[in-house]
Amino acid sequence: MKRVVIGMAAVWSLLATGALAADLAPTPYVKAPPVAATVYGWTGFYIGGNVGYSWGRARNSETISDFGTGVALFTGTSHNDVNGVIGGGQVGYNWQVQNWLVGLEADIQGSGEKGSSDLICVGCANDGTNITSTLTQKLTWFGTVRGRVGVLVTPSVLLYGTGGLAYGELKTGGSITGNNVNGVPVTVAFPGASSTRVGWTAGVGVEGKIAQNWTAKLEYLYMDLGSASAGPIGTTILVPVRVNAGVSYSSGFTDNILRVGVNYQFGGGPVVARY
């Protein structure tokens, strides 16, 4: 009888241990619902300013001819940098569709870009010496009207591409040095020409929210304003006898623009994002 009681106690102990273990089994993992976060949207008008630097390039073709006969003394080509600081302002509008953004932007820039190049005609002067022609270029201002298309890699960071119309004022002038008088080369400036050129631009940028209504951006643009030409422009090269000469030239201009800017966005109310 004692053995039966001991056996029944052992069985009861095993059953009780199993029930307790079942009660202690881990509960299934349930993923927490997404947490809603408030961020600020990009849709709306904005206005801002920028500053940067431009690395321009001029491709020049020039002809000096006898103004009376029209006979060319020489024709040559050259290339030169047209670099300088730029600064201005921009205005635009954004439309945000989920994490995509499309928009329009116009800007106007003041420019300190300038440069020059020399062309040498060996032995072209009446006295057998060289004639050196110096051509100068200056971009005084330019502007663009562009579309923008981008993707919001986060609710606060935009990567975008941009492109459209470009226009600007390109001034070209120069001088001619040649025909020694009493052993001294003579330099004569010829009148410059100014024209407003129209071309195109394209580039990329990154823009980020730094406050509810403020963004900061870094942008690169390539700009092509085509060619500006003038001539023949009458000038005088001093020789033992004065000779009138005509200067004709053409300058093609392209630019690489890197600038930083800030924008203030009107509106830009909160939207709900889930992570």
Pick among 1.10.287, 2.40.160, 2.20.25, 2.40.128: CATH of 35-274: 2.40.128
pLDDT of residue 3: 44
Give CA separation, 68 vs 62, 169, 201, 242, 250, in Å: 18, 32, 42, 12, 21
**H, E, C per residue of the chain:** CHHHHHHHHHHHHHHHHHHHHHHCCCCCCCCCCCCEEEEECCCEEEEEEEEEEEEEEEEEEEEEEECCCCCEEEEEEEEEEEEEEEEEEEEEEEEEECCEEEEEEEEEEEEEEEEEEEEEECCCCCCCCCEEEEEEEEEEEEEEEEEEEEEEEECCEEEEEEEEEEEEEEEEEEEEEEEEECCEEEEEEEEEEEEEEEEEEEEEEEEEECCCCEEEEEEEEEEEEEEEEEEEEEEEECCCCCEEEEEEEEEEEEEEEEEEEEEEECCCCEEEEEC
pLDDT of residue 188: 78
CA 180, CA 184: separation in Å to the nearest integer? 5
pLDDT of residue 65: 76
Per-residue pLDDT of the chain (275 residues; tens, 9 = 90+): 344 334 434 434 433 444 434 444 455 555 555 544 456 799 999 999 999 999 999 998 888 776 667 677 778 888 999 999 999 999 999 999 999 999 999 999 999 999 999 888 887 776 677 778 888 999 999 999 999 999 999 999 999 999 999 999 998 888 888 776 676 777 877 777 788 999 999 999 999 999 989 999 999 999 999 988 776 666 665 444 445 667 788 888 999 999 999 999 997 555 554 43
Question: Structural domain boundaries of the chain?
Answer: 35-274
pLDDT of residue 26: 52
pLDDT of residue 227: 86
pLDDT of residue 209: 96
Q: Angle at Cα 90 formed by Cα 87 and Cα 96, nearest 5°?
A: 140
Query: Using CA of residue 268, residue 269, residue 270, residue 272, what is the dihedral sign?
Result: negative
Cβ atoms 119, 78 nearer than 8 A: yes
Amino acid at 274: R
pLDDT of residue 25: 47
Q: Is the peptide bond before 240 cis (omega within 30 degrees of 0)?
A: no
